[in-house]
Amino acid sequence: MRAAITGGAGFLGSHLCELLLEKGWEVLCLDNLVTGSDSNIAHLLPHAKFRFARQDVSRYIEVPGPLDAVLHFASPASPPDYLKYPIQTLKVGALGTHNSLGLAMAKNARYLLASTSECYGDPQVSPQPESYWGHVNPVGPRGVYDESKRYAEAMTMAYHRYHGLDTHIVRIFNTYGPRMRLNDGRALPNFLYQALVGEPITVYGDGKQTRSFCYVSDLLAGIYKLLESNEHEPTNIGNPQEITILEFAERVRKLVGATTPIVFHPLPQDDPKQRCPDITKAKRILNWEPKVSLEEGLQRTYEYFREKLAQSTQAK
């Protein structure tokens, strides 16, 4: 079995490359390294079944030889990234999805789109089921990411309905674990980085907004089951254990043993007040639910961040 993974040098993409290699697949990793990092896949380069190609998937994709699956994970994903690269974000959601679907069509391959809980916007329903159409501001600053993914879902379903392509759509909720960038702008890496270096921990708004954090190995297990399934409609994969951002910041501070204060900044425009997946569907059709507790996942991630920070300090 051979797979092409766009965005394969990113946080999730690199873990996905690793998982498929462990399952015996050949893996072609495609990434232009705008937000991904070659350090995420350096340990995979010697693997006989792994190959990396630097590729902007917003441009035509040509892959010699057969493919059994195309998994489209290329996109900036953290708010600072997609606000820094708004046009590229829209292009990879539109043109990148079109090109990767075309590749799957040409190879008669299965296709999996990495979509997002941001399709639900600032939700008026919680937890969010797949049947909820969302509450998104299309012209706000976050719209470049939210709408690129909503469009990508529409195009993926069109290819399934019109061309009969075997497609799958995963709506990914907040995920964390090793290989996140130390300061990528999302809550966990921000909190851990600030606590480790002794900076005040930044909480936006009053901290009462909620998130649900899924450890990366749990997410990947759900994604692989979805790829192997007969389900074509969007499917939520995430951890339904809801926690306020303020409580999360306190947990990180306690874990690290930090004494730095928590400081409050204004809430960014259109920032979701609640984010919690309804995973009833994933339980029913995939027999999947998360297994790693927040305590265990935080500990693993903390150890990774502590080591990375020590390495970067030594390098200086």
User: Which residues are annotated as catalytic?
Assistant: 145
Q: Which residues contact 84 (CB under 8 A, 6 or more apart)?
A: 76
Give the HSE-up count for residue 170: Cα atoms under 13 Å, Cβ half-sphere: 27
Q: Among positive and negative, which fits the CA dihedral 195, 117, 230, 280?
A: positive
- C-alpha angle 28/34/40, rounded to 5°? 55
Tokens for 214, please give them: 């899924």
Alpha carbons 226 and 168: distance in angstroms, whole number? 7
Q: In 137-209, where do the E strands start and end? A: 167-172, 175-176, 201-204
SS3 at position 99: helix
What secondary structure does DSSP assign to 211-228, as a single string? Answer: EE-EEHHHHHHHHHHHHT
Q: How far apart are CA 34 and CA 213, in angstroms?
A: 25
Beta-strand relationship, 242-244 and 210-212: antiparallel
Strands in the chain per DSSP E: 2-6, 26-31, 50-54, 69-72, 110-116, 167-172, 175-176, 201-204, 210-212, 214-215, 235-237, 242-244, 262-265
CA distance 28 to 68: 11
What does the chain come to in residues? 316
